[in-house]
């Protein structure tokens, strides 16, 4: 059963996310609105992984569930993106267990309750 829902704006092919714990929005319906994604994640107890700031804003206004991992890396080459996410992913997973929002930057992680 998946634990994470990867937003359509993130790479589809990424070995770290190629396990049963992850489902990509493309595999469900890549035309969904942010509200539809939010409701699906909430109904299925999924953590949203996104680059879209709208989910962070919704997290502040609506609260959890769902929880959100907001990747704030800007536009990077895919190999750099993969390296950065892979190097911090264990810490991200640990933080999202006890927080509702985790922001991922190039040089730091920020966890918000």
Q: Is 42 exposed, middle or buried (0-12, 13-18, 19+ CB in 10 A)?
A: middle
- pTM score, two decimals? 0.92
Q: One digit per residue, pLDDT tens: the chain, 113 residues?
A: 789 999 998 988 888 888 999 999 999 998 889 999 999 999 999 999 999 999 989 888 887 799 999 999 988 888 899 999 999 999 999 999 999 999 999 999 999 98
Domain that holds residue 68: 4-112
**Cα separations (Å) of 101 from 12, 13, 41, 42, 62?**
22, 24, 14, 14, 12
67 contacts 100 by C-beta, under 8 angstroms: yes
CA-based nearest residue to 68, from 2, 15, 7: 7
**Domain count along the chain:** 1
- Model confidence over 48-71: pLDDT tens digits? 999 999 998 988 888 779 999 999
């Amino acid at each position: 059963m998946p634990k994470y829902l990867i937003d359509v704006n993130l790479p589809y092919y990424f070995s770290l996310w190629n396990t049963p714990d992850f489902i990509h929005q493309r595999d469900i319906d890549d035309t969904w609105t942010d509200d539809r994604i939010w409701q699906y994640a909430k109904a299925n107890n999924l953590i949203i992984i996104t680059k879209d700031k709208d989910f962070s804003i919704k997290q502040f206004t609506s609260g959890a569930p769902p929880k959100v991992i907001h990747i704030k890396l800007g536009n990077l080459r895919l190999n750099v993106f993969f390296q950065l996410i892979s190097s911090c992913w264990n810490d991200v997973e640990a933080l999202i267990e006890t927080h509702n929002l985790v922001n991922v930057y190039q040089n730091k992680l920020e966890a918000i309750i």
